[in-house]
C-alpha cells in the first residue's frame, strides 16, 4: 500500500508539472526559468546589446563583478552584455589581463585550494564530460588560474559562487568564443556601469590586441598587489 501511495503521488506531481508547463504563458515561463537559474534583468537574465562607456575600445572585454555582467565592446559606445557568475566573498579580485589561451571542451583539474576545501573532488575531469565545471569553452587569463568559461551548473549564473573564475552559460560562451582572439585585453573590476538598450546588431570578430604586458591583480581589502606576467 505504501509503495502504491508513493507511486500515485509521484504520478500526480508529474501530471501537474506537464499541465503547468503547457498552460503557463511564455512570458511567465521565461520569468520562472530566470528565477530558478539565478537571474532577472540585473542578476543573471539574458544576453543583450547595450550602450556602454565610450572610453573602452572595440574588442576589449570588461568583467564587472558589481554588475555581474561581462561586456564585449563591439564598437565605441556599444557592447554585448553577458550574465555571469562572479567570485564568492573570499575569492574576490580585480585587475587587467590578456587572454593567453583558448580551449574547446577543456579538461578540468582542481586547484590545491579546491582540494583542501573538498578532498572528495575528482583529480581530473575530461573535456566534454557533462559534469565538467569549465563547460564547453574556456578563455585563459594571463598566467593566472582564472578563466572565462562555461558551466555544468547554469542555475548559478548571476550568483557570487565561483572560486575566482568568470562563469557563463554554455550558449553564451559559445557566442563569445569566436569573437575573442588570443591577446584580447580583459579588465576585471567591481565598478558598476550605466547601460541601456542599444540597437540589435551582429558584432564582428574584434582584432587581436596581443602584447606582452604586466597585469596587476589586486584582491579587495588586501594592500599587497600581485603582479602577473602576461605572455
Residues 64, 149, 209, 217: which is the catalytic one? 149
Give the predicted TM-score (pTM) of the model.
Answer: 0.71
Q: Which residue has the higher pLDDT, 16 or 68?
A: 68
Annotation marks residue 149 as catalytic: yes
Q: What is the pLDDT of residue 32?
A: 38
CA 21 – CA 195 distance, rounded (Å) = 34
Say whether 13 is catalytic: no
pLDDT tens sequence across 95-127: 999 999 999 999 999 999 999 999 999 999 999
Mean pLDDT of the chain: 78
Spot the catalytic one: 61, 62, 136, 165.
Answer: 165
Give the pLDDT confidence score for residue 199 in this predicted structure.
66
CA–CA dist 62, 180 (Å, integer): 12
Model confidence pLDDT, tens digit, residues 60-100: 999 999 999 999 999 999 999 999 999 999 999 999 999 99
CA 44, 49, 53, 58 torsion-angle sign: positive
Residue 45 pLDDT: 86
Assess contact for 162 and 149: CB atoms under 8 A: no
Amino acid at each position: 500500500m505504501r509503495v502504491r501511495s508513493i507511486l500515485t503521488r509521484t504520478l500526480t506531481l508529474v501530471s501537474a508539472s506537464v499541465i503547468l508547463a503547457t498552460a503557463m504563458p511564455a512570458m511567465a515561463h521565461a520569468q520562472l526559468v530566470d528565477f530558478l537559474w539565478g537571474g532577472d534583468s540585473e542578476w543573471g537574465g539574458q544576453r543583450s546589446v547595450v550602450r556602454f562607456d565610450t572610453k573602452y575600445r572595440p574588442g576589449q572585454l570588461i568583467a564587472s563583478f558589481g554588475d555581474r555582467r561581462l561586456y564585449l565592446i563591439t564598437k565605441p559606445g556599444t557592447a554585448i552584455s553577458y550574465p555571469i557568475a562572479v567570485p564568492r566573498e573570499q575569492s574576490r579580485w580585480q585587475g587587467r589581463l590578456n587572454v593567453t589561451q583558448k580551449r574547446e571542451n577543456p579538461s578540468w583539474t582542481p586547484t590545491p585550494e579546491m582540494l583542501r576545501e573538498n578532498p572528495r573532488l575528482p583529480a581530473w575531469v575530461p573535456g566534454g564530460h557533462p559534469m565538467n565545471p569549465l563547460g564547453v569553452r574556456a578563455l585563459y587569463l594571463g598566467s593566472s588560474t582564472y578563466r572565462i568559461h562555461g558551466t555544468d551548473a547554469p542555475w548559478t549564473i548571476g550568483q557570487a559562487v565561483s572560486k575566482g573564475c568568470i562563469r557563463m552559460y554554455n550558449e553564451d560562451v559559445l557566442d563569445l568564443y569566436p569573437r575573442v582572439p588570443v591577446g584580447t585585453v580583459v579588465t576585471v573590476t567591481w565598478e558598476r556601469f550605466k547601460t541601456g538598450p542599444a540597437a540589435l546588431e551582429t558584432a564582428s570578430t574584434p582584432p587581436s590586441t596581443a602584447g606582452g604586458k604586466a597585469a596587476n591583480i589586486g584582491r579587495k581589502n588586501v594592500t599587497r598587489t600581485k603582479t602577473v606576467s602576461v605572455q
